[in-house]
Structure 1
Amino acid sequence: MPVTDPSTPSAPSSPSAPSTRTLRTALAAVAVCAATALTLATAAPAQADEAPKLREGGVPEALWNYVSSPGAVPGANDWSCKPSAEHPEPVVMLPGTFFNLGANVVKAAPRLKNAGYCVYALNYGFTSASLGRVGGLGPNRESAAQLDAFVDKVLASTGSTKVNILGHSLGGSVPMWWMKKMDGARKVDKYVGWAPSSHGTNLNGIVDVGSQLNLMGFVTRLSEVARFPGVIEQTNTSDYTREMWADGDTVPDGPRYTVVMTKYDTVVTPYATQALKGDDVNNVVLQDVCPTDRAGHMGLFNDDPTLQITMNALADGPADFKPACRGFGLQFL
Structure 2
Amino acid sequence: MSRWPKYVAGVCAAFALTVASAIQVAAADDEPVAPSYSYVGGLAAQVTRPGGPPPGANDWSCRPSSVHPNPVVLLHGLSNDTITWNSLSPVLAGAGFCVFTTTYGTGPLGPIGAITPVEESAVQIGAFIDHVLTVTGAAKVDLVGHSMGGAVPFYYLNHLGGVSKIDDYIAMGAPLHGTTLSGLQSMFAGLLEQPAIDELLTSRCGPCQLSYGAPFLRTLNADPAIAPDIRFTMIVSRYDEIATPYTTGLLDGPNVHNIVLQDLCATDYTEHYELTADPVAVRAVLDALEPARAEPASCAVVLPFIGPVGR
The two structures have a TM-score, normalised by structure 1, of 0.75
CA contact (8 A) 2:56 2:89 kept: yes
Report what 2:132 is aligned to.
154
Q: Whole-Å Cα distance in 1 between the matches of residues 261 and 60 of structure 2?
A: 33
Shift of 1:239: 3.1
Q: Could you tell me which amino acid in structure 1 is paired with residue 61 of structure 2?
A: S
Please show how residues 38-187 of structure 1 align to structure 2 within 5 Å: 54-57=33-36, 58-67=38-47, 68-97=49-78, 99-127=79-107, 129-131=108-110, 133-187=111-165
Question: 2: distance between equivalents of 1:279 and 1:173?
Answer: 19
Q: CA, structure 1 residues 297+317, in 2 after alignment: closer, same or farther (shift >3 Å)?
A: farther
The separation in 1 between residues aligned to 2:234 and 2:257, in whole angstroms, is: 6
Between 1:229-238 and 1:305-314, the stretch displaced more is 229-238
- Output the amino acid matched with 2:118: N
1: CA distance, partners of 2:224 / 2:136: 33
SS at match of 2:109: coil
Q: Which residue of 2 aligns with 1:195?
A: 173
Aligned partner (choices 278, 302, 322) of residue 296 of structure 2: 322
* Structure 1 segment 222-261 matched on structure 2, within 5 A: 222-223=200-201, 229-245=205-221, 250-261=225-236
Counterparts of 1:299-314 in structure 2 under 5 Å?
299-314=274-289
Shift of the 221–193 alpha-carbon distance from structure 1 to 2, 3 Å rule, reads same
Tell me by how many angstroms 1:163 deviates: 0.3
Alignment size in residue pairs? 274
Aligned AA (1:230)? G
The 2-side partners of 1:72 and 1:318 are apart by 27
User: Secondary structure in 2 aligned to 1:204?
Assistant: helix
The answer to whether residue 257 in structure 2 is matched with residue 282 in structure 1 is yes
Deviation, structure 1 residue 323 = 0.9
CA shift at 1:238, angstroms? 2.3
Q: Percent identity?
A: 34
Offset of 1:322 from its aligned partner? 3.2
Do residues 262 (structure 1) and 240 (structure 2) align? no
Name the SS for the 2:257 alignment partner.
strand
Q: Equivalents in 1 of 2:226, 2:33: separation in Å?
A: 35
For the residue of structure 1 that corresponds to 2:259, the secondary structure is: strand
- More RCO (CA 8 Å, sep 6+): 2
Shift of 1:221: 4.2
The Cα shift of 1:54 comes to: 3.7
Distance 1:253 1:59 in 2: 34
CA distance, structure 2, for counterparts of residue 114 and residue 175 of structure 1: 26
How many Å apart are 1:279 and its aligned residue?
2.0
The alpha carbon displacement at 1:277 in A equals: 1.9
Superimposed CA distance per residue, residues 249-304 of structure 1 (whole angstroms, 9 cap, x where no aligned partner): 74521111101111101111111121112221000111111011110011102100
Secondary structure of 1:166 counterpart: strand
Structure-1 separation of matches of 2:188 and 2:43 = 33
Give the superposition deviation at 1:210.
4.3
**1:42 — aligned with what?**
none
Give the superposed CA RMSD: 2.5
Q: State the shift of 1:151 in Å.
A: 0.6
2:182 maps to 1:204: yes
Unaligned 5+ segments in structure 2 are 1-30, 307-311
* TM-score, normalised via structure 2 length: 0.80
Q: Distance in 2 between matches of 1:136 and 1:190?
A: 21
Deviates more, 1:174-183 or 1:72-81: 174-183
Q: 1:124 is paired with a residue of what secondary structure?
A: coil
Q: How has the CA–CA distance of structure 1 residues 213 and 101 changed in structure 2, closer, same or farther, with 3 Å as cutoff?
A: closer
Change (3 A) 1:252 1:216: farther
| Shift in CA distance, 216/301, structure 1 to aligned 2, threshold 3 Å | farther
Structure number with bigger Rg: 1
